[in-house]
Amino acid sequence: MKFKYIMVSMILCLLLIAPAQTAQAAVPTAEFPEGWPQGPGVEAESAIIMEASTGTILYEKNSHEELYPASITKIMTTLLALNNSSLNDTVTFSHDAVFSVGTSDAKLGGIDEGDKLTMEQCLYGVMLASANDVSYAVAEHVGGSLSKFVDMMNEEAEKLGCENTHFTNASGLPDADHYTTAYDMALISQEALKNPVFRQIAQTMVYTIPADEYCPEPRARANHHEMKSNGKYPYDGWIGGKTGWTASAGYTLVTFAHKNNMDLICVIMKSSQTGQYTDTKALLDYGFQNFKRMNLSEAEVRPAEQESADNTLRLGDFMKEQPLLGINPEDYIVIPGPAGWDQIEAVFIPDAQDDETAGSMRYTYNGYYVGTGRVVLNTENAYQFQASTNLNRNNSAHGILKINPWIIAAAAVLAVIIVVVIILLFRRPRRRRRGRKLRF
C-alpha cells in the first residue's frame, strides 16, 4: 500500500513540475468561442441552456441579470425539503400557512388550520399545483419557521455558487428583495436533478391526494407545465420543470429534457405566456441538435503500439499494466457535434481532497469550458490515465505527456531516491519501532 502511494506521489510531482496553466473561471457564460454553434434569438429578457451532468453552458442571454423568479422559487423549496426531511413526515398546517396567503394566490384547496399531509403529498402540491399555502407549511416544518427556512434557502444558494440570488419567502411571492438570475436558477435546478425523487415529482403528470379525515374528496392536481405530453406545447424528451408568474416577474419557466444521452436545463425569465414555451422549444432543439455528450473514459485513446516522440514520457508506459491514476468513468464533456479531439485541451488541477481523488482534468474547447474529469486512484472501473498539464490531442501525439529532458532527469533522480528509501524500509529489523513512524 505504501508503494502505491509513493508512486502516486511521484506521478503528481511530474505533473506539478510540468508547465502549469492558470485556471480559468469555472463556467464562462458570456463569450462563446470560435466554432460554437449560433444560438436562436429569443423573446425572453433572460435565458440559459445548461447541460446538467457537466454544467456546460450551451447558450445564454442576460443570464446574470437579477430578476423576479415567481414560482420557480419552489424548486429550491422542494430541494431543501428533500434534503432535510422524510417523505413520511407529517406536516401540520399552521394558522399562518393557511391564512397569510392571499385569496388570489395559488393554493392546494381544501386545507384548513390544523390539517395534516405527508411531506410527499406536500411536495407534489408544491411542484405540480404550485400551492403557496403548502410551500409555507413545508418551510415551517423543515426550518422551524418561515424565516429560518429562508435563511436555509440563501445558505444553499450560496453553497451552490449563486452569486446574484436572494430569497425572502418559500413560494416566490412578489418582494423587492426576492430575486435570482437564469444562471443561478440553472445551478439550483442542476443540484435538484441529482435527486431521483425530485426528478420523479417534476415529471409527474397528475397526482392525487386521497380522501382523509380532513378532506372527504380526493384531490387530483395536474402538472402546470405545458410541455408535458398532453400539454399545449408537448415536447419529445420533456422530463419535468416548473412554471411561474406574477405581474412583476412576468412568465418564468424552468424545463428539463432528456435526449441524445443529455439532460438539458432551460431557464426562461421575464417572458410572455406564449413566448416562454416557444423560446424553450427553440433552445432545447438548439442544444440537442448541435451538441454531443461524451464519456471521458470512452473518448480517451488508450496507449497505442507506437514509439513515443522525442523527449516525451507516456504515463501508460510508465505505469505498465497497473495504472495508479484514472479518470472517473462517470464523468463527461459536452462539445459541438462536429468537434474532434484536436480542438479539446485539458489542464490537470491537483486537489487531493480525499484518499481516492488526486485532482481533476479541466477540459476546454477552443478555451471554453466543456466539462471536468476527476482524476482518481486506481479502481476497478478506472481506465488508463493519459493526460498532460496542457493536453492538446492530435493524430500524431495522442495521450502523451510532454516533458523536457531536465524534468526527465529530475524524475530519474527522484525515482532513485524513492527506491533507496523503500529498500531501507524493508531491510529494517522487524521490531517495535521507537519514536514516531516514518510516513509517506
Pairing of the two strands 90-92 and 116-118: antiparallel
Would you say 328 and 373 are in contact if contact means Cβ atoms under 8 Å apart? yes
What whole-number distance in Å separates Cα of residue 186 and Cα of residue 199?
15
Rounded to whole angstroms, how far apart are CA atoms 235 and 158? Answer: 33
C-alpha gyration radius of the chain: 26
Q: What is the rounded end-to-end Cα distance, in angstroms, of the chain? A: 11
Angle (CA) 37-40-41 rounded to 5° is 140
DSSP 223-272: ---TTSTTSSS--TTEEEEEEEEETTTEEEEEEEEEETTEEEEEEEEEE-
Q: What is the 3-state secondary structure (H, E, C) of 280-348?
A: HHHHHHHHHHHEEEEEHHHHCCCCCCCCCCCCEECHHHHHCCCCCEEECCCCEEEEECCCCHHHEEEEE
What does the block give as the cell for 372? 471536468
Contact status, residue 418 vs residue 12, Cβ threshold 8 Å: no
How far apart CA 149 and CA 168 sit, in angstroms, is 9
User: Assign residue 141 a region: left if phi > 0, alpha if psi is -120 to 50, beta otherwise?
Assistant: alpha
391: which DSSP letter?
E
Sign of the four-CA dihedral 226, 124, 169, 54: negative
Q: Which residues pair with 374 in a beta bridge?
A: 360
> What is the DSSP annotation of 2-51?
HHHHHHHHHHHHHHHHSPP-----SS--S-PPTTPPPPPP-SSSEEEEEE
- Identify whether the C-beta of residue 132 lies closer than 8 Å to the C-beta of residue 152: no
Active site residues: 71, 74, 130
The verdict on whether residue 194 carries a ligand-binding annotation is no
Measured in whole angstroms, the distance separating CA 155 from the mean position of its chain's CA atoms is 17
Q: Which residues define the annotated binding site for substrate?
A: 242
Q: Which residues define the annotated binding site?
A: 242
